[in-house]
Structure 1
Amino acid sequence: MEQESSKLAPLEPISDNIDRDWLLQHLVTHANLAKDFHQPITLWMAGGMISGVLVSGQEYFDAYTEQFVSRFTPEAAEGTRKTLRDIGSRYYEEDESPDASNTIFIHLINAQFWTPSGSIPSSKGAGMVWRGRLSQVTGFSLGQLEKAE
């Protein structure tokens, strides 16, 4: 999918003294701004790796909400869905010039955990929605891991 480079946030120094990869932080800021951005990505963390598709915070909250209410009755689901969407929209409203230093979390869909011994099964084989702190990521690569057949 082709992205317009004019929508990228300017690369400005991050000065909040939190140790995180500035390149990954700007990629996540761009994902939050672009809204329809999807990038397969693998993250190295202290306990192993997590691999999935990087999405905007808004798309994450939509996926999280639907996963959360999937076991509710239709009546209960609707009220909870509205509450969770309201919470998510407070943080991921349209912003013409996002400040990358305010980007603290990374959001993945179709995420799977991987340890040195292999992947940890999750959601009966389907990927999960996942949110993590950028300051806890020790490395990343573009592309998503898949189980070997």
Structure 2
Amino acid sequence: MTDEVSSGNIETKLAYDGSSVDWFLQRLSNLTNSSDLEFGITLQVSGTTVTGTLIGGEKYFKLFAESFSQAWPYEDKEEIRDAFESNADIYKNVDKDEDLPPTQYVHLKDALFFDGGYKFPNEGTLWRGVLPRFYGHIHKEA
């Protein structure tokens, strides 16, 4: 974004740039990034349906670090966990009254994918997606 977009000038921004980002989904993602809020959501992404629980970036990176380090085959598991968990630092110590910059990603836990009548994986997984890539969303898991 070239300028900060407030509620009052979204229409002007869309008139110039088109609807490249779903501003409503972006606000929902910002909300999960600045709080402990989590909720079910289903997204349409390039012909594939993705469903799961929308979580904040801090929680996503903590869960990713834990999962990755558990699978790490070497002895330095704690160092690996700490290295990946440090990616969550961008979301820490944020003044809750201060507006975060518009998010560019959504983070899901327990994500499942549906494509051509197939569901994968068998158990939910962590998933991180780029906001402009979504074609629709439902605020409930499938």
Give the TM-score normalised by the residue count of structure 1.
Answer: 0.78
Q: How many residues align?
A: 130
1:100 CA displacement: 4.7
1:47 CA displacement: 3.2
Residue 111 (structure 2) pairs with residue 136 (structure 1): no
- Percent of residue pairs identical: 26
Kept in 1, the 8 Å contact 2:59–2:88? The answer is no
CA RMSD of aligned residues (A): 2.2
Cα distance in structure 2, aligned partners of 1:106 and 1:41: 11
User: Structure 1 13/52 Cα, relative in aligned 2: closer, same or farther at 3 Å?
Assistant: farther
Partner of 1:92: 91
Cα distance in structure 2, aligned partners of 1:136 and 1:48: 11
Higher strand share: 2
User: Structure 1 11/93 Cα, relative in aligned 2: closer, same or farther at 3 Å?
Assistant: farther
Kept in 2, the 8 Å contact 1:41–1:141? The answer is yes
Structure 1: runs of 5 or more not aligned: 1-9
Deviations 1:69-128 (A, max 9, x none): 112257411000111111221x21232323353x10000000000113231x21xx2211
Higher mean C-alpha deviation, range 72-81 or range 128-137:
72-81
User: Structure 1 12/28 Cα, relative in aligned 2: closer, same or farther at 3 Å?
Assistant: farther
Higher mean C-alpha deviation, range 10-19 or range 53-62:
10-19
Cα distance in structure 1, aligned partners of 2:76 and 2:27: 38
